[in-house]
Amino acid sequence: MKRFTAATANPAEIVEELLNGGGAVGISGLFTAQEIAEARAIVMAHSEHSAEKATHFQGAAEGAGNLNLQRRVWNLLAKGEVFSHMATHPVLMNVLRSFLGTEFIMGSIAANRILPGGPGQEPHVDYPYWDFHKPETHPVGFNGSFPMNAQVSVLLDPFTKESGATGYVPGSQRELRYPAPEDGFYNRCERMTGEPGDVALFYGVTWHCAMPNKADHDRSAILIQYLPKWVKPMEDMPAALPQPFLDNASPELRQLLGMNYPYPEVLDAAKAGNTEGRK
């Protein structure tokens, strides 16, 4: 995985790597130790004794009765200002404008906590491609030649091979396909390793999964999903946030929450006049 710092994160180089290279990059130096500690404390407080939440790619864990070893915390924007800062970091925003278009939005921001003994996930691709194991439900000719997703993982714990650092198959993003058992994912995958505060940024059609946590500590990260402005978000974040938060949202957050993009709209009740096309 190519690695960058806050100072060397060149958007053109990163976009090339996401589309035509390995499909994932690492960036260090975006967040302070204090920010990581604050975010981790909030995640721990909301997941230590909470009931099971919706999760994904955990069919084997559910069948084995150990789904509780992976814990999700959703709606993070409502749980601490630090998460708004993470989602709108200028370095990330600059890269994502080049990758997804200048008016991209956020589809989800959540925490994924895998406890020691957690079995990891099945290899997969991410939303809106994540159900491509049913290709017949998608349009003919659907492909990954242009991106409809970027994933950011902000590491809260050491991501090592032992702790289950995300496995991925470099180059698998070049052909949109859901990984099958015969693809030999586990024999081919590399790892998105890193230290707390590092960021893994990858194109969501890259085959990947959380690996089993065989360490004696948690393996937790903040997962942020970014989408082009016209892709339906995975989470309905505005509906889950209090009105004062929305009223006081920064311009960057308003964009990420889709508040600048009017569709779908009740056009019969919309203001009269020409609203699209060259002026």
Percentage of the chain lying above the pLDDT 90 cut: 84
Q: What are phi and psi of 26, to 5 degrees?
A: -115, 140
pLDDT at position 68: 74
Does residue 196 have a cis peptide bond before it, meaning omega lies within 30 degrees of 0? Answer: no
User: Is 259 within 8 Å of 265 (Cβ atoms)?
Assistant: no
pLDDT averaged over the chain? Answer: 93
In this model, does residue 16 exceed pLDDT 70? yes
Spatial distance between the Cα atoms of 123 and 188, rounded to a whole number of angstroms: 12
* Whether pLDDT at 51 is above 60: no
- pLDDT band, very low/low/confident/very high, at 273 (cuts 50, 70, 90): confident
169-211 pLDDT, tens digit per residue, is 999 999 999 999 999 999 999 999 999 999 999 999 999 999 9
pLDDT on residue 56: 62
| Domains detected in the chain | 2-269 (2.60.120.620)
Residue range 115-125, pLDDT digits in tens: 999 988 899 99
For residue 108, list its beta bridge partners: 225
Average pLDDT over residues 51-57: 56
pLDDT for the residue numbered 70: 85
**Ordered alpha helix ranges (H), 4-116:** 11-20, 33-47, 59-64, 81-87, 90-100
User: Could you report the per-residue pLDDT of 64-113, keeping only the tens digit for each?
Assistant: 555 577 889 999 999 999 999 999 999 999 999 999 999 999 999 999 99
